[in-house]
């Protein structure tokens, strides 16, 4: 014996289902279609009223069925992509019209989201950059050239720095230096190569790792010195003591 409303309604649905099952399939299908249409019409008329309730039910379902929910929303998106994008764009336009500060707030919210999960956004940004670069490599090469020539001196400094950082990272050496560190070294060394003591003049100094990265040195400024090209090439990845002996800088 059904007592609660829910039980009564369940019983009612079971009875209707049994009745439908007795009908010829086409007739049953037509009845179901008509019921669905009426329900949709009824819901549409009361959308504002039942909207919150529907959203709550839907959110609860998605929370309880994450995998199926994902599949369902992907399928829906694939089917109605243009419609959904147009709807989103219209919503955004309306929001901008209603609030002139909207884009600013939107931007700040995005910054906040990015700050909350930097790794995720870094990966996303990199993936996007890569996709765009591959789609139009010429444009990216031009942009890169423009950046370089906007301040060639700084670009070269940064290039040297990046190359060392990459190498250090590769060797998991840790530590890093900046262009300012290099300028400080240049002042300390009075503009001269530490091995042959010749002034660098117009030549770009080579940033040398006193203990080479290959031998476990780091990128920390305390492990750096500036050498001329010739001396740096001669040193290559030799042990500093070995190198010093070889050049008569050490007598033990
Ligand atoms: Zn030298």
Q: What is the pLDDT of residue 247?
A: 60
Tell me the residue length of the chain: 252
- Say if 185 falls within a structural domain: yes
Regarding predicted confidence, which is higher, 213 or 237?
213
CA of 193 to the centre of ligand 1 (A): 5
CA of 212 to the centre of ligand 1 (A): 17
pLDDT at 2 > cutoff 60: no
Here the CATH number for the domain that contains residue 151 is 1.10.30
CA of 204 to the centre of ligand 1 (A): 12
- Say if 204 falls within a structural domain: yes
- Say if 198 falls within a structural domain: yes
CA of 149 to the centre of ligand 1 (A): 29
Give residues whose Cβ lies within 5 Å of ion ligand 1: 193, 195-196, 228, 231
CA of 231 to the centre of ligand 1 (A): 4
- Say if 183 falls within a structural domain: yes
Tell me the residue range of the domain where 224 lies.
147-246
Q: What is the pLDDT of residue 242?
A: 66
Entry pTM: 0.37
Q: In which band, very low, low, confident or very high, does the pLDDT at 244 lie, cut at 50, 70 and 90?
A: low
Would you list the DSSP string of 15-74? Answer: HHHHHHHHS-HHHHHHHHHHHHHHHHHHHHHTHHHHHHHHHHHHHHHHHH-HHHHHHHHH
Residue 229, CA atoms < 13 Å, CB-side half-sphere: 4
- Say if 1 falls within a structural domain: no
CA of 234 to the centre of ligand 1 (A): 9
- Say if 38 falls within a structural domain: no
CA of 200 to the centre of ligand 1 (A): 8
**68 Cβ partners below 8 Å, 6+ apart?**
none
- Say if 36 falls within a structural domain: no
CA of 219 to the centre of ligand 1 (A): 21
State both tokens at 51: 């909207």
pLDDT tens profile 33-74: 999 999 888 888 887 777 788 888 889 999 999 999 999 989
Beta bridge partners of 226: 207
Across the chain, what does the average pLDDT equal? 85
CA of 33 to the centre of ligand 1 (A): 88
- Say if 17 falls within a structural domain: no
CA of 135 to the centre of ligand 1 (A): 45
Question: What is the total count of domains within the chain?
Answer: 1
């Amino acid at each position: 014996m059904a007592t609660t409303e829910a039980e009564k309604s369940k019983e009612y649905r079971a009875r209707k289902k049994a009745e439908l099952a007795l009908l010829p399939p086409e007739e049953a299908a037509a009845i179901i279609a008509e019921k669905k249409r009426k329900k949709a019409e009824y819901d549409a008329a009361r959308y504002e009223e039942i909207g919150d309730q529907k959203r709550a039910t839907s959110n609860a379902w998605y929370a309880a069925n994450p995998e199926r929910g994902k599949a369902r929303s992907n399928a829906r998106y694939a089917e109605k992509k243009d419609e959904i994008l147009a709807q989103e764009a219209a919503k955004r336009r309306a929001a901008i019209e209603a609030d002139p500060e909207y884009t600013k707030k939107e931007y700040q919210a995005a910054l906040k989201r990015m700050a909350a999960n930097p790794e995720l956004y870094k990966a996303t940004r990199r993936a996007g950059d890569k996709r765009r670069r591959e789609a139009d490599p010429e444009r990216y090469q031009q942009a890169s050239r423009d950046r370089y020539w906007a301040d060639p001196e700084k670009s070269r400094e940064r290039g040297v720095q990046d190359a060392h950082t990459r190498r250090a990272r590769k060797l998991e050496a840790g530590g890093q230096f900046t262009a300012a560190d290099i300028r400080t070294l240049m002042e300390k060394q009075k503009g001269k190569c530490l091995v042959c003591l010749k002034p660098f003049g117009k030549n770009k100094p080579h940033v040398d790792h006193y203990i080479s990265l290959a031998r476990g040195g780091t990128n920390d400024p305390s492990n750096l010195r500036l050498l001329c090209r010739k001396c740096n090439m001669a040193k290559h990845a030799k042990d500093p003591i070995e190198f010093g002996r070889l050049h008569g800088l050490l007598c033990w």
